[in-house]
Amino acid sequence: MPLTTETMVLNMGPHHPSTHGVLRFILRTDGEVIHLCRPDVGYLHRGLEKIAEQLPYAHFMPYTDRLDYLAAMNCNLGYAITVEKAANIEVPLRAEYVRVLVAELNRIISHLISVGTFAMDIGAVTPFTHTIREREWVNDLFEELCGGRLTYNYVRFGGVAFDLPDGFLDRLNRFLDYFEPRLEQYNRFISKNKIFKERLVGVAVISPQQALDYALVGPNLRASGINWDLRRDEPYSVYGDLEFDVPVGAAEYGVVGDCYSRYWIRIWEMEQSVRILRQCIAKMPEGPHWNRSKKKLKVEPGEIYVRTEAPRGELGFYLISQGGPKPHRLRIRTGSFSAMSIVEEVGSGLMVADLVALIASLDVVAPEVDR
Amino acid sequence: MEEQSILERIKRIIGEADLVWVDDQLGDSYLVIPKEKLRRLAIYLKGDFHLAFDTLMCLSGVHNMGEQDEMEVVYHLYSIRHRHQFILKVKLDRPAFFPHFYLRVDSLSGIWPAAAWMEREAYDMFGIHFVGHDDFRRLLLPPDWEGHPLQKDYRESEVYRGISTTREEIEGILAEESG
Protein backbone atom coordinates (compact mmCIF):
# COMPACT_ATOMS: atom_id res chain seq x y z
CA MET A 1 0.00 0.00 0.00
CA PRO A 2 1.50 3.36 -1.01
CA LEU A 3 2.16 5.87 1.68
CA THR A 4 -0.23 8.80 1.33
CA THR A 5 -0.75 12.01 3.14
CA GLU A 6 -4.00 13.80 3.57
CA THR A 7 -4.64 17.25 2.16
CA MET A 8 -6.51 19.85 4.09
CA VAL A 9 -8.39 22.94 2.99
CA LEU A 10 -7.26 25.98 4.91
CA ASN A 11 -9.01 29.30 4.81
CA MET A 12 -6.69 32.28 5.14
CA GLY A 13 -8.41 35.59 5.59
CA PRO A 14 -10.41 37.73 4.91
CA HIS A 15 -9.16 39.14 8.20
CA HIS A 16 -5.54 38.26 8.49
CA PRO A 17 -2.92 40.78 9.50
CA SER A 18 -0.71 40.03 6.53
CA THR A 19 -3.32 40.33 3.86
CA HIS A 20 -3.03 44.10 3.34
CA GLY A 21 -6.66 44.99 3.41
CA VAL A 22 -9.34 42.42 3.05
CA LEU A 23 -8.18 39.46 0.99
CA ARG A 24 -8.94 35.81 1.27
CA PHE A 25 -7.00 32.78 0.14
CA ILE A 26 -8.35 29.28 -0.04
CA LEU A 27 -5.42 26.92 0.34
CA ARG A 28 -5.27 23.19 -0.18
CA THR A 29 -2.32 22.18 1.92
CA ASP A 30 -0.40 19.02 2.58
CA GLY A 31 1.24 19.68 5.90
CA GLU A 32 3.01 22.98 5.42
CA VAL A 33 3.15 22.78 1.63
CA ILE A 34 0.49 24.52 -0.44
CA HIS A 35 -0.88 22.41 -3.27
CA LEU A 36 -3.36 24.89 -4.55
CA CYS A 37 -3.79 28.53 -3.70
CA ARG A 38 -6.93 30.34 -4.79
CA PRO A 39 -7.19 34.04 -4.09
CA ASP A 40 -10.69 35.25 -3.44
CA VAL A 41 -11.02 38.98 -4.03
CA GLY A 42 -13.83 41.49 -4.20
CA TYR A 43 -14.43 42.29 -0.54
CA LEU A 44 -13.61 45.93 -1.18
CA HIS A 45 -15.40 46.29 -4.49
CA ARG A 46 -17.03 49.71 -4.62
CA GLY A 47 -18.00 49.81 -8.25
CA LEU A 48 -15.74 52.72 -9.15
CA GLU A 49 -16.16 52.10 -12.86
CA LYS A 50 -19.94 52.30 -12.53
CA ILE A 51 -19.71 55.43 -10.41
CA ALA A 52 -17.46 57.04 -13.05
CA GLU A 53 -20.15 56.59 -15.67
CA GLN A 54 -22.66 58.47 -13.56
CA LEU A 55 -20.61 61.52 -12.62
CA PRO A 56 -19.25 64.49 -14.59
CA TYR A 57 -15.53 64.19 -15.28
CA ALA A 58 -14.34 66.49 -12.52
CA HIS A 59 -16.52 64.90 -9.87
CA PHE A 60 -14.75 61.58 -10.18
CA MET A 61 -11.43 62.99 -8.94
CA PRO A 62 -12.05 62.32 -5.21
CA TYR A 63 -12.91 58.72 -6.03
CA THR A 64 -9.49 58.17 -7.55
CA ASP A 65 -8.04 58.92 -4.11
CA ARG A 66 -9.83 55.84 -2.83
CA LEU A 67 -8.60 53.75 -5.73
CA ASP A 68 -5.29 53.23 -3.99
CA TYR A 69 -5.27 55.06 -0.70
CA LEU A 70 -1.53 54.61 -0.24
CA ALA A 71 -0.78 56.46 -3.46
CA ALA A 72 -3.66 58.86 -3.87
CA MET A 73 -1.56 61.52 -5.64
CA ASN A 74 -0.46 59.11 -8.33
CA CYS A 75 -4.03 58.02 -8.97
CA ASN A 76 -5.15 61.66 -9.11
CA LEU A 77 -2.37 62.36 -11.57
CA GLY A 78 -3.18 59.39 -13.81
CA TYR A 79 -6.82 60.37 -14.08
CA ALA A 80 -6.03 64.06 -14.62
CA ILE A 81 -3.59 63.27 -17.43
CA THR A 82 -6.18 61.04 -19.10
CA VAL A 83 -8.87 63.70 -19.14
CA GLU A 84 -6.40 66.42 -20.12
CA LYS A 85 -5.25 64.40 -23.10
CA ALA A 86 -8.84 63.73 -24.10
CA ALA A 87 -9.99 67.34 -23.70
CA ASN A 88 -6.77 69.04 -24.86
CA ILE A 89 -6.11 70.98 -21.69
CA GLU A 90 -2.77 72.74 -21.32
CA VAL A 91 -0.91 72.47 -18.04
CA PRO A 92 1.43 75.27 -16.91
CA LEU A 93 5.04 74.30 -16.34
CA ARG A 94 5.01 75.01 -12.62
CA ALA A 95 2.03 72.73 -12.17
CA GLU A 96 3.85 69.95 -14.01
CA TYR A 97 6.78 70.21 -11.62
CA VAL A 98 4.52 70.34 -8.59
CA ARG A 99 2.72 67.25 -9.85
CA VAL A 100 5.93 65.29 -10.32
CA LEU A 101 7.05 66.47 -6.91
CA VAL A 102 3.95 65.24 -5.11
CA ALA A 103 3.85 62.03 -7.14
CA GLU A 104 7.41 61.13 -6.20
CA LEU A 105 6.84 62.10 -2.59
CA ASN A 106 3.83 59.84 -2.58
CA ARG A 107 5.89 57.08 -4.17
CA ILE A 108 8.35 57.33 -1.29
CA ILE A 109 5.70 56.99 1.42
CA SER A 110 3.95 54.22 -0.46
CA HIS A 111 7.18 52.26 -0.70
CA LEU A 112 7.87 53.02 2.97
CA ILE A 113 4.60 51.34 3.91
CA SER A 114 5.39 48.50 1.56
CA VAL A 115 8.83 47.91 3.08
CA GLY A 116 7.57 48.32 6.63
CA THR A 117 4.63 45.96 6.29
CA PHE A 118 6.84 43.52 4.45
CA ALA A 119 9.14 43.29 7.43
CA MET A 120 6.17 43.11 9.76
CA ASP A 121 4.51 40.33 7.80
CA ILE A 122 7.49 38.07 8.12
CA GLY A 123 7.85 38.74 11.80
CA ALA A 124 9.90 41.91 12.36
CA VAL A 125 7.56 44.47 13.89
CA THR A 126 10.01 47.24 14.73
CA PRO A 127 10.94 48.38 11.18
CA PHE A 128 7.31 49.23 10.58
CA THR A 129 7.36 51.82 13.34
CA HIS A 130 10.45 53.36 11.78
CA THR A 131 8.97 53.63 8.30
CA ILE A 132 5.74 55.00 9.72
CA ARG A 133 7.74 57.67 11.53
CA GLU A 134 9.21 58.91 8.25
CA ARG A 135 5.85 58.69 6.54
CA GLU A 136 4.31 60.87 9.21
CA TRP A 137 6.65 63.70 8.23
CA VAL A 138 5.53 63.49 4.60
CA ASN A 139 1.90 63.31 5.69
CA ASP A 140 2.46 66.59 7.52
CA LEU A 141 3.93 68.11 4.36
CA PHE A 142 0.93 66.97 2.35
CA GLU A 143 -1.45 68.28 4.97
CA GLU A 144 0.22 71.66 4.70
CA LEU A 145 -0.13 71.50 0.93
CA CYS A 146 -3.74 70.42 0.51
CA GLY A 147 -5.29 69.70 3.88
CA GLY A 148 -5.49 65.96 3.44
CA ARG A 149 -3.26 63.39 5.03
CA LEU A 150 -4.36 60.31 3.12
CA THR A 151 -6.85 61.23 0.41
CA TYR A 152 -5.62 64.43 -1.12
CA ASN A 153 -7.85 65.32 -4.08
CA TYR A 154 -5.09 67.73 -5.04
CA VAL A 155 -4.53 67.39 -8.79
CA ARG A 156 -6.96 69.23 -11.06
CA PHE A 157 -7.52 69.21 -14.80
CA GLY A 158 -5.01 71.79 -16.00
CA GLY A 159 -2.90 72.05 -12.87
CA VAL A 160 -3.08 71.54 -9.14
CA ALA A 161 -5.58 72.87 -6.63
CA PHE A 162 -3.21 74.97 -4.50
CA ASP A 163 0.16 76.56 -5.04
CA LEU A 164 3.04 75.52 -2.79
CA PRO A 165 2.87 77.35 0.55
CA ASP A 166 5.73 79.68 1.57
CA GLY A 167 8.83 77.81 2.60
CA PHE A 168 7.46 74.45 1.49
CA LEU A 169 10.48 73.62 -0.63
CA ASP A 170 12.84 74.36 2.27
CA ARG A 171 10.90 72.07 4.54
CA LEU A 172 10.86 69.41 1.86
CA ASN A 173 14.60 69.80 1.50
CA ARG A 174 15.00 69.32 5.23
CA PHE A 175 12.97 66.13 5.02
CA LEU A 176 15.12 64.81 2.18
CA ASP A 177 18.32 65.60 4.09
CA TYR A 178 16.90 63.64 6.98
CA PHE A 179 15.50 60.84 4.88
CA GLU A 180 18.47 59.95 2.69
CA PRO A 181 20.69 58.67 5.52
CA ARG A 182 17.67 56.76 6.85
CA LEU A 183 17.71 54.60 3.73
CA GLU A 184 21.24 53.53 4.60
CA GLN A 185 19.98 52.81 8.08
CA TYR A 186 17.20 50.61 6.72
CA ASN A 187 19.79 48.69 4.75
CA ARG A 188 21.82 48.02 7.87
CA PHE A 189 18.69 47.32 9.84
CA ILE A 190 16.58 45.20 7.47
CA SER A 191 18.03 44.65 4.00
CA LYS A 192 21.33 43.18 5.09
CA ASN A 193 19.92 41.41 8.09
CA LYS A 194 20.85 37.74 7.90
CA ILE A 195 17.50 36.43 9.10
CA PHE A 196 15.62 38.65 6.68
CA LYS A 197 17.71 37.44 3.76
CA GLU A 198 17.46 33.77 4.75
CA ARG A 199 13.72 34.21 4.79
CA LEU A 200 13.37 35.81 1.35
CA VAL A 201 16.27 34.92 -0.91
CA GLY A 202 15.22 32.42 -3.56
CA VAL A 203 11.61 32.30 -2.37
CA ALA A 204 8.73 32.49 -4.86
CA VAL A 205 10.73 33.23 -7.97
CA ILE A 206 8.83 34.85 -10.85
CA SER A 207 10.63 34.36 -14.15
CA PRO A 208 10.72 37.20 -16.71
CA GLN A 209 8.45 35.19 -19.00
CA GLN A 210 5.89 34.66 -16.25
CA ALA A 211 6.04 38.33 -15.35
CA LEU A 212 5.23 39.32 -18.93
CA ASP A 213 2.56 36.66 -19.35
CA TYR A 214 0.70 37.83 -16.29
CA ALA A 215 1.23 41.48 -17.27
CA LEU A 216 3.00 42.34 -14.05
CA VAL A 217 3.90 46.01 -13.90
CA GLY A 218 6.09 48.44 -12.07
CA PRO A 219 8.54 47.25 -9.40
CA ASN A 220 7.33 43.65 -9.63
CA LEU A 221 8.13 43.54 -13.34
CA ARG A 222 11.51 45.19 -12.91
CA ALA A 223 12.42 42.84 -10.09
CA SER A 224 12.04 40.00 -12.58
CA GLY A 225 14.76 41.59 -14.67
CA ILE A 226 12.75 43.45 -17.27
CA ASN A 227 14.00 46.94 -17.85
CA TRP A 228 10.81 48.88 -18.32
CA ASP A 229 9.64 52.05 -16.68
CA LEU A 230 7.00 54.33 -18.14
CA ARG A 231 8.59 57.39 -16.61
CA ARG A 232 11.67 56.82 -18.74
CA ASP A 233 10.34 54.90 -21.74
CA GLU A 234 7.15 56.84 -22.43
CA PRO A 235 7.78 60.03 -20.48
CA TYR A 236 4.70 61.96 -19.41
CA SER A 237 4.54 65.28 -17.56
CA VAL A 238 8.15 66.55 -17.16
CA TYR A 239 9.85 63.22 -16.48
CA GLY A 240 11.66 63.62 -19.79
CA ASP A 241 13.68 66.54 -18.38
CA LEU A 242 14.68 64.82 -15.17
CA GLU A 243 17.58 62.50 -14.62
CA PHE A 244 17.10 59.25 -12.77
CA ASP A 245 18.03 55.60 -13.02
CA VAL A 246 15.58 52.76 -13.27
CA PRO A 247 16.49 50.01 -10.83
CA VAL A 248 16.23 46.53 -12.31
CA GLY A 249 16.51 43.27 -10.40
CA ALA A 250 20.12 42.15 -10.57
CA ALA A 251 20.27 39.52 -7.83
CA GLU A 252 22.69 40.94 -5.26
CA TYR A 253 21.69 37.95 -3.23
CA GLY A 254 19.83 34.97 -4.56
CA VAL A 255 18.16 35.02 -7.96
CA VAL A 256 16.41 37.58 -10.11
CA GLY A 257 12.68 37.68 -9.44
CA ASP A 258 12.61 36.30 -5.91
CA CYS A 259 10.98 38.00 -2.94
CA TYR A 260 14.22 39.66 -1.98
CA SER A 261 14.67 41.37 -5.36
CA ARG A 262 11.14 42.70 -5.15
CA TYR A 263 11.96 44.14 -1.74
CA TRP A 264 15.32 45.55 -2.83
CA ILE A 265 13.87 47.29 -5.91
CA ARG A 266 11.67 49.39 -3.65
CA ILE A 267 14.57 50.59 -1.54
CA TRP A 268 16.38 51.60 -4.73
CA GLU A 269 13.34 53.36 -6.10
CA MET A 270 13.08 55.47 -2.99
CA GLU A 271 16.68 56.53 -3.56
CA GLN A 272 15.85 57.53 -7.13
CA SER A 273 12.71 59.35 -6.02
CA VAL A 274 14.82 61.43 -3.67
CA ARG A 275 17.03 62.27 -6.63
CA ILE A 276 14.03 63.33 -8.71
CA LEU A 277 12.68 65.42 -5.83
CA ARG A 278 15.96 67.29 -5.45
CA GLN A 279 15.92 68.13 -9.17
CA CYS A 280 12.30 69.28 -8.91
CA ILE A 281 13.22 71.61 -6.05
CA ALA A 282 16.15 73.03 -8.02
CA LYS A 283 14.19 73.49 -11.24
CA MET A 284 10.86 74.63 -9.81
CA PRO A 285 9.76 77.45 -12.14
CA GLU A 286 7.62 80.43 -11.25
CA GLY A 287 4.23 80.93 -12.78
CA PRO A 288 0.59 79.99 -12.39
CA HIS A 289 -0.24 76.67 -10.75
CA TRP A 290 -3.56 76.11 -12.41
CA ASN A 291 -4.70 76.85 -15.92
CA ARG A 292 -8.28 77.16 -14.76
CA SER A 293 -10.64 77.32 -17.64
CA LYS A 294 -13.97 79.09 -17.44
CA LYS A 295 -15.35 76.97 -20.24
CA LYS A 296 -17.29 73.82 -19.60
CA LEU A 297 -15.18 70.71 -19.92
CA LYS A 298 -15.82 69.15 -23.29
CA VAL A 299 -14.49 65.83 -24.47
CA GLU A 300 -14.97 64.93 -28.11
CA PRO A 301 -16.34 61.45 -28.90
CA GLY A 302 -13.62 58.88 -29.10
CA GLU A 303 -11.46 56.78 -26.87
CA ILE A 304 -8.08 56.97 -25.26
CA TYR A 305 -5.91 54.71 -23.11
CA VAL A 306 -3.42 56.46 -20.88
CA ARG A 307 -1.07 54.82 -18.43
CA THR A 308 1.17 56.31 -15.82
CA GLU A 309 3.68 54.82 -13.43
CA ALA A 310 2.16 54.60 -9.95
CA PRO A 311 4.06 53.01 -7.04
CA ARG A 312 2.35 49.70 -7.75
CA GLY A 313 3.11 49.90 -11.43
CA GLU A 314 1.18 51.02 -14.43
CA LEU A 315 -2.11 52.63 -13.73
CA GLY A 316 -4.15 52.65 -16.91
CA PHE A 317 -7.31 54.62 -17.57
CA TYR A 318 -9.27 53.62 -20.63
CA LEU A 319 -11.71 56.41 -21.36
CA ILE A 320 -14.49 56.21 -23.90
CA SER A 321 -16.37 59.41 -24.50
CA GLN A 322 -19.53 59.95 -26.49
CA GLY A 323 -19.28 63.70 -26.18
CA GLY A 324 -21.48 64.10 -23.13
CA PRO A 325 -20.56 65.59 -19.75
CA LYS A 326 -19.92 62.10 -18.37
CA PRO A 327 -17.67 59.34 -19.67
CA HIS A 328 -19.36 56.54 -21.55
CA ARG A 329 -16.97 54.06 -20.00
CA LEU A 330 -13.97 54.41 -17.73
CA ARG A 331 -11.96 51.26 -17.26
CA ILE A 332 -9.29 51.32 -14.59
CA ARG A 333 -6.40 48.91 -14.91
CA THR A 334 -4.25 48.65 -11.82
CA GLY A 335 -0.97 47.04 -10.88
CA SER A 336 -2.22 45.11 -7.87
CA PHE A 337 -4.83 43.36 -9.98
CA SER A 338 -2.28 41.62 -12.16
CA ALA A 339 0.00 41.05 -9.17
CA MET A 340 -2.88 39.26 -7.48
CA SER A 341 -3.64 37.11 -10.49
CA ILE A 342 -0.15 35.63 -10.49
CA VAL A 343 -0.45 34.43 -6.87
CA GLU A 344 -2.35 31.32 -7.91
CA GLU A 345 0.45 30.31 -10.27
CA VAL A 346 3.42 31.15 -8.07
CA GLY A 347 1.83 30.38 -4.72
CA SER A 348 1.19 26.72 -5.43
CA GLY A 349 4.10 24.70 -4.11
CA LEU A 350 5.21 27.21 -1.49
CA MET A 351 5.14 26.83 2.27
CA VAL A 352 2.26 28.60 4.00
CA ALA A 353 4.65 31.07 5.67
CA ASP A 354 6.29 31.84 2.32
CA LEU A 355 2.92 32.72 0.81
CA VAL A 356 2.78 35.59 3.28
CA ALA A 357 6.18 36.73 2.04
CA LEU A 358 5.02 36.46 -1.57
CA ILE A 359 1.93 38.59 -1.02
CA ALA A 360 3.90 41.18 0.90
CA SER A 361 6.61 41.29 -1.76
CA LEU A 362 4.09 41.87 -4.54
CA ASP A 363 2.87 44.86 -2.53
CA VAL A 364 -0.78 44.13 -3.15
CA VAL A 365 -3.27 46.69 -1.92
CA ALA A 366 -6.76 45.24 -1.74
CA PRO A 367 -8.84 48.29 -2.75
CA GLU A 368 -6.75 48.58 -5.89
CA VAL A 369 -7.49 44.98 -6.81
CA ASP A 370 -11.22 45.30 -6.22
CA ARG A 371 -11.82 48.93 -7.28
CA MET B 1 6.75 48.96 -35.73
CA GLU B 2 4.21 51.53 -36.88
CA GLU B 3 0.50 50.87 -36.57
CA GLN B 4 0.04 50.73 -40.32
CA SER B 5 2.74 48.14 -40.91
CA ILE B 6 1.34 46.01 -38.06
CA LEU B 7 -2.01 46.25 -39.80
CA GLU B 8 -0.45 45.14 -43.09
CA ARG B 9 1.04 42.08 -41.41
CA ILE B 10 -2.28 41.22 -39.82
CA LYS B 11 -4.07 41.50 -43.16
CA ARG B 12 -1.58 39.12 -44.70
CA ILE B 13 -2.37 36.51 -42.08
CA ILE B 14 -6.12 36.56 -41.62
CA GLY B 15 -7.17 38.24 -44.84
CA GLU B 16 -8.70 41.63 -45.40
CA ALA B 17 -12.29 40.46 -45.27
CA ASP B 18 -14.41 41.82 -42.39
CA LEU B 19 -11.60 43.86 -40.87
CA VAL B 20 -12.55 47.40 -39.97
CA TRP B 21 -9.84 49.93 -39.14
CA VAL B 22 -11.22 52.81 -37.10
CA ASP B 23 -9.23 56.04 -37.07
CA ASP B 24 -10.14 57.49 -33.74
CA GLN B 25 -10.11 61.29 -33.62
CA LEU B 26 -9.46 61.53 -29.91
CA GLY B 27 -6.65 59.16 -29.21
CA ASP B 28 -6.12 55.55 -30.07
CA SER B 29 -7.11 53.97 -33.37
CA TYR B 30 -8.19 50.37 -33.31
CA LEU B 31 -8.99 47.36 -35.45
CA VAL B 32 -12.35 45.62 -35.25
CA ILE B 33 -12.16 41.96 -36.14
CA PRO B 34 -14.84 39.25 -36.36
CA LYS B 35 -14.83 37.06 -33.27
CA GLU B 36 -14.18 33.89 -35.25
CA LYS B 37 -10.73 35.18 -36.16
CA LEU B 38 -9.73 36.35 -32.71
CA ARG B 39 -7.98 33.27 -31.40
CA ARG B 40 -6.00 32.62 -34.52
CA LEU B 41 -4.89 36.21 -34.74
CA ALA B 42 -3.94 36.34 -31.06
CA ILE B 43 -1.65 33.32 -31.38
CA TYR B 44 0.01 35.01 -34.31
CA LEU B 45 0.33 38.37 -32.59
CA LYS B 46 2.11 36.83 -29.66
CA GLY B 47 4.26 34.39 -31.58
CA ASP B 48 5.43 36.39 -34.58
CA PHE B 49 8.96 37.64 -34.13
CA HIS B 50 8.36 41.10 -35.60
CA LEU B 51 5.16 41.71 -33.68
CA ALA B 52 5.85 39.85 -30.40
CA PHE B 53 3.00 41.30 -28.35
CA ASP B 54 4.20 39.88 -25.08
CA THR B 55 1.80 41.66 -22.71
CA LEU B 56 -1.91 42.12 -22.63
CA MET B 57 -2.08 45.52 -20.95
CA CYS B 58 -5.78 45.72 -20.58
CA LEU B 59 -8.90 43.79 -21.46
CA SER B 60 -12.11 45.73 -21.16
CA GLY B 61 -15.74 45.11 -21.78
CA VAL B 62 -17.86 47.93 -23.18
CA HIS B 63 -21.62 48.13 -23.57
CA ASN B 64 -23.14 50.41 -26.18
CA MET B 65 -26.87 50.98 -26.25
CA GLY B 66 -27.09 53.50 -29.06
CA GLU B 67 -28.65 52.55 -32.38
CA GLN B 68 -27.66 48.98 -31.82
CA ASP B 69 -27.43 47.03 -28.59
CA GLU B 70 -23.95 45.59 -28.68
CA MET B 71 -21.03 44.71 -26.48
CA GLU B 72 -17.36 45.11 -27.21
CA VAL B 73 -14.31 43.38 -25.86
CA VAL B 74 -11.24 45.57 -26.21
CA TYR B 75 -7.71 44.19 -26.08
CA HIS B 76 -4.86 46.63 -25.49
CA LEU B 77 -1.67 44.87 -26.51
CA TYR B 78 1.86 45.99 -25.93
CA SER B 79 5.22 44.60 -26.97
CA ILE B 80 7.95 45.36 -24.48
CA ARG B 81 10.47 43.81 -26.84
CA HIS B 82 9.67 46.13 -29.75
CA ARG B 83 7.95 48.94 -27.85
CA HIS B 84 4.80 49.17 -29.93
CA GLN B 85 1.14 48.86 -29.14
CA PHE B 86 -1.97 47.75 -30.90
CA ILE B 87 -5.66 47.71 -30.03
CA LEU B 88 -8.07 44.99 -31.07
CA LYS B 89 -11.80 45.07 -30.70
CA VAL B 90 -14.42 42.37 -31.01
CA LYS B 91 -18.06 43.34 -31.30
CA LEU B 92 -20.84 41.11 -30.05
CA ASP B 93 -24.54 41.55 -30.73
CA ARG B 94 -26.84 41.56 -27.78
CA PRO B 95 -30.32 40.56 -28.93
CA ALA B 96 -33.26 40.92 -26.57
CA PHE B 97 -33.85 37.20 -26.32
CA PHE B 98 -31.23 34.77 -24.98
CA PRO B 99 -28.44 37.37 -24.98
CA HIS B 100 -26.08 35.04 -23.11
CA PHE B 101 -26.18 32.76 -26.12
CA TYR B 102 -24.74 35.47 -28.34
CA LEU B 103 -22.33 37.08 -25.91
CA ARG B 104 -19.62 34.51 -26.43
CA VAL B 105 -16.05 34.92 -27.49
CA ASP B 106 -12.95 32.73 -27.36
CA SER B 107 -10.90 33.01 -24.21
CA LEU B 108 -7.32 34.15 -24.64
CA SER B 109 -6.21 33.00 -21.20
CA GLY B 110 -4.17 30.22 -22.78
CA ILE B 111 -2.21 32.75 -24.81
CA TRP B 112 -1.85 35.59 -22.32
CA PRO B 113 -2.46 34.23 -18.80
CA ALA B 114 -3.14 37.80 -17.69
CA ALA B 115 -6.41 37.52 -19.59
CA ALA B 116 -7.71 34.91 -17.15
CA TRP B 117 -8.68 37.35 -14.41
CA MET B 118 -9.58 40.19 -16.74
CA GLU B 119 -11.99 37.90 -18.58
CA ARG B 120 -13.53 36.84 -15.31
CA GLU B 121 -14.01 40.49 -14.46
CA ALA B 122 -15.56 41.20 -17.86
CA TYR B 123 -17.98 38.33 -17.29
CA ASP B 124 -18.76 39.61 -13.84
CA MET B 125 -19.52 43.13 -15.01
CA PHE B 126 -20.94 42.57 -18.50
CA GLY B 127 -22.04 38.95 -18.74
CA ILE B 128 -19.75 38.18 -21.65
CA HIS B 129 -18.85 34.48 -21.76
CA PHE B 130 -15.32 33.48 -22.62
CA VAL B 131 -15.25 30.04 -24.14
CA GLY B 132 -12.37 27.78 -23.19
CA HIS B 133 -11.52 29.45 -19.89
CA ASP B 134 -10.21 27.07 -17.19
CA ASP B 135 -11.76 28.60 -14.15
CA PHE B 136 -14.73 30.63 -15.25
CA ARG B 137 -16.75 32.22 -12.46
CA ARG B 138 -17.43 35.65 -11.03
CA LEU B 139 -14.41 37.51 -9.74
CA LEU B 140 -15.37 40.58 -7.75
CA LEU B 141 -19.05 40.13 -6.97
CA PRO B 142 -20.44 37.32 -4.80
CA PRO B 143 -21.44 34.15 -6.67
CA ASP B 144 -25.15 34.63 -6.02
CA TRP B 145 -25.30 38.19 -7.35
CA GLU B 146 -27.98 38.77 -9.94
CA GLY B 147 -27.19 40.62 -13.13
CA HIS B 148 -24.09 42.29 -14.46
CA PRO B 149 -23.74 45.82 -13.08
CA LEU B 150 -21.84 47.56 -15.88
CA GLN B 151 -24.52 46.80 -18.44
CA LYS B 152 -26.20 50.08 -19.29
CA ASP B 153 -29.66 48.71 -18.59
CA TYR B 154 -28.73 47.13 -15.28
CA ARG B 155 -31.22 47.52 -12.48
CA GLU B 156 -30.09 46.75 -8.98
CA SER B 157 -32.39 44.23 -7.32
CA GLU B 158 -34.20 45.71 -4.36
CA VAL B 159 -33.23 43.01 -1.93
CA TYR B 160 -29.96 41.17 -1.54
CA ARG B 161 -29.99 38.25 0.91
CA GLY B 162 -32.90 39.77 2.75
CA ILE B 163 -31.27 43.18 3.06
CA SER B 164 -32.89 46.12 1.33
CA THR B 165 -30.71 48.05 -1.08
CA THR B 166 -32.98 51.03 -1.60
CA ARG B 167 -32.51 54.28 0.18
CA GLU B 168 -36.24 54.94 0.76
CA GLU B 169 -36.63 51.90 2.94
CA ILE B 170 -33.57 52.72 5.02
CA GLU B 171 -34.84 56.26 5.50
CA GLY B 172 -38.21 54.84 6.50
CA ILE B 173 -36.58 52.68 9.15
CA LEU B 174 -34.57 55.61 10.45
CA ALA B 175 -37.68 57.77 10.63
CA GLU B 176 -39.50 55.05 12.57
CA GLU B 177 -36.65 54.67 15.02
CA SER B 178 -36.44 58.37 15.75
CA GLY B 179 -40.19 58.26 16.34
For A188-248, the DSSP string reads IIIIT-HHHHHHHTTSS---HHHHHHTT--HHHHHHTT----HHHHS--TTGGGS------
Specify the DSSP element, H or E, that contains B41: helix B38-47
Residues 30-89 of A with CB under 8 A from B: 41-42, 45, 47, 49-50, 53, 85-86
Residues 195-234 of A with CB under 8 A from B: 212-215, 226, 228, 233
Contacts of B24 in chain A (CB under 8 A): 302-304
Contact B57 A45 (CB under 8 A): no
Using CA atoms, how far residue B79 sits from A211, B83, B84, in Å, is: 13, 5, 5
Q: Bridge partners of B109? A: none
* In contact, A225 and A249? CB cutoff 8 Å: yes
User: Parallel, antiparallel, or unpaired for β A313-321 and A302-310?
Assistant: antiparallel
Q: What is the ipTM of this complex?
A: 0.84
A74: nearest Cα among A100, A48, A46: A100
Q: What share of chain B is helix, strand, coil (3-state, %, to 5)?
A: 30, 25, 45
pTM score: 0.88
Look up residue A187 and give its DSSP letter. Answer: I
* In contact, A261 and A249? CB cutoff 8 Å: yes
Nearest CA to CA, how far is A134 from chain B (Å)?
34
What are the two backbone dihedrals, phi and then psi, of residue A49, each rounded to the nearest 5 degrees? -70, -35
Q: Bridge partners of B131? A: B106
Contact B57 A215 (CB under 8 A): yes
d(CA A41, CA B21): 37
Buried b (16+ CB within 10 A) or exposed e, A74-102: bbbbbbbbbbbbbbebebbebbbbbbbbb
Contact B58 A42 (CB under 8 A): no
pLDDT in tens, chain A (371 residues): 677 778 888 888 777 656 667 888 888 888 888 888 888 888 888 888 888 888 888 888 889 988 888 888 999 999 999 998 888 888 888 899 999 999 999 999 999 988 888 888 888 888 888 888 888 999 999 998 888 888 888 998 888 888 888 888 899 999 999 998 888 888 888 888 888 888 888 888 888 888 988 989 889 998 888 888 888 888 888 888 888 888 888 777 778 888 888 888 888 899 899 999 999 898 888 888 887 777 778 888 888 999 899 898 889 999 988 888 888 889 999 988 888 888 888 888 888 888 888 888 888 888 888 88
**CB contact, 8 Å: B54 with chain A?**
yes
Look up residue B174 and give its DSSP letter. Answer: H
